[in-house]
Amino acid sequence: MTSAGRVAAFCLVMGLLPGCGLLQGPEEAVGDPAGSPAEPAHSVFSVPRVSAERRAAIEDHMLAHLLGAAPLSARDGVRSYVNLVGHWLLQQDRDPDYAWRFVVLDDPAFFVTGLPQGTVVVSSGLLADLSSEAELAAVLAIGIGQVQTGAYLSRSDADALNTQEPAMLARRLLGLGPAADALLLADFEALYRVVHAGYDPWALAALMQRWIALPESSFSDAVFSAPDLETRFERLRWPLHDEFLHAGGAEIAARYQGRVR
Amino acid sequence: MRRFSLAFVLWALLTPAFAQDLLLVVQEPVSLRVGPAAHMPAMETLPAGARLLGVERSGGWYRVRADHAVEGWVPVLSTRFAPVSGVERAKLSGLHMKQILTVRPRLEEAMELAPSEPSRYELQQFAKSARLISGRPR
């Protein structure tokens, strides 16, 4: 299924037809901030148009807050492994509009998110709970999806994104958290991305099932507040059943255990 | 019924190969099959609410052990993990919303974190060593 086809299917499943940018056409899909440089729409939702420089400035301030709350992981081996898996996921379908980087923070809570200019942040606590590279790929693909769906930027209007002071904006976007519909689409996209990269898509399903069984207090409330994991898992039921029922793919448990544990 | 469940829980606890979080609950009546595919013969039908021990996963199927020690395969989408208690990571965490918004931002550190893109060769070696094959149609 093509990317546009997936988006259309996703919107039908979600009942989101009015909110889906690709179905609305480009004029309605993006905002029209005065004076901002012309850029292609980078999300299917109504994400306001923001230059790469602005996105980078906002992202740096968001990351600065996260680094203030939890230090960078000191484990170079883990960081480079996560970086490799992340870039492998991007290899066939890399959006040059973003400066991709994968950051591991040393924190026990489950945390993964995709910031506006291509930074995917994951916590060491979440990594410690995974059992295979396919699960790591699923987690990073979720983060990549959140970058591409503008999970934070879609929380604000174009005017604010293009004129407000980045530090204040970053704080506000972090406070609002990622947008629910962008998160759901990011999960959906993650399934296709892991399959495309050769991993088993059912690792993502099994991972979400495990997460659902855990108490809420395992998860950072900054990125796992809404929608709940039950809803996120239910939205994946259709593509899992209809598209990937017989899908194979690599699991790679030994390499993951060797590099991360 | 209660005695039956108690016996199952005791048996689960005494079986060292299984962790508590591998306890599965059947969500809808489902066939327990001899292999991980819908065309494999069914051994029996498990009712909704039946509790199973997960042994392994292969694609969209879990290999499970039912409470009468019969092993077989059920679809991932027909099951859920039983709730796990006692894990409270976020309480020890700095990555709380409140914390994130009140800490002193480390802007310099954030700006110094340059993207580190592996070379094409590195990625190819990485994939080759695990026989990862990419490029399936998206």
- When pLDDT is cut at 50, 70 and 90, the band that residue B9 belongs to is very low
Q: What is the average pLDDT across A68-92?
A: 95
pLDDT tens readout for residues A159-200: 999 999 999 999 999 999 999 999 999 999 999 999 999 999
- When pLDDT is cut at 50, 70 and 90, the band that residue A240 belongs to is very high
- Cβ atoms of A56 and A71 within 8 Å: the answer is no
- When pLDDT is cut at 50, 70 and 90, the band that residue B134 belongs to is confident
More confident residue, A27 or A52: A52
- When pLDDT is cut at 50, 70 and 90, the band that residue A231 belongs to is very high
**pLDDT over threshold 90, residue A111:** yes
Q: Is B136 on the interface with A (CB under 8 A)?
A: yes
Alpha-carbon distance B73 to nearest alpha carbon in chain A (angstroms): 14
Contacts of A134 in chain B (CB under 8 A): none
pLDDT at B20: 46
d(CA A225, CA A241) in angstroms, rounded, equals 26
**pLDDT over threshold 80, residue A25:** no
**pLDDT over threshold 80, residue A257:** yes
* Closest Cα in chain A to B130: A252
d(CA A196, CA A209) in angstroms, rounded, equals 22
Q: What is the average pLDDT across A234-256?
A: 91
Q: What is the average pLDDT across B70-96?
A: 89
**pLDDT over threshold 80, residue B79:** yes
Pick from A84, A88, A202: CB nearest B59: A202
pLDDT at A49: 86
Comparing A114-123, A178-187, B15-24, the range with the smallest average pLDDT is B15-24
Q: Is B132 on the interface with A (CB under 8 A)?
A: yes
Comparing A42-46, B27-31, B34-38, B64-68, the range with the smallest average pLDDT is A42-46
pLDDT at A48: 80
Which B residues, 71 through 90, put their C-beta within 8 Å of a C-beta on chain A?
76-77, 79-90
- Cβ atoms of A90 and A101 within 8 Å: the answer is no
- Cβ atoms of A110 and A125 within 8 Å: the answer is yes
Whether B60 and A197 lie within 8 Å, measured CB to CB: no
Whether A206 and B57 lie within 8 Å, measured CB to CB: yes
CA B32 centroid distance within chain: 19
Task: Calculate the average pLDDT of chain A.
Answer: 85
Which A residues, 59 through 98, put their C-beta within 8 Å of a C-beta on chain B?
60-61, 63-70, 72, 80, 83-84, 87-88, 91-93
Which A residues, 167 through 226, put their C-beta within 8 Å of a C-beta on chain B?
167, 171, 174-175, 177, 192-193, 195-200, 202, 205-206, 209-210, 212-222, 225
Contacts of B122 in chain A (CB under 8 A): 84
**pLDDT over threshold 80, residue A29:** no
- When pLDDT is cut at 50, 70 and 90, the band that residue A43 belongs to is very low
pTM of the model: 0.85
Closest CA to A151 of A123, A127, A126, A121: A121
Alpha-carbon distance A260 to nearest alpha carbon in chain B (angstroms): 16
- Please identify which residue in the block is written with the tokens 């059943």: A241
In chain A, % of residues over pLDDT 90: 75
Closest CA to A139 of A209, A101, A72, A190: A190
**pLDDT over threshold 50, residue A137:** yes
pLDDT at A9: 57
Q: What is the average pLDDT across A114-136?
A: 97
Burial of A160 (0-12, 13-18, 19+ CB in 10 A): middle
pLDDT at A188: 94
pLDDT at A47: 75
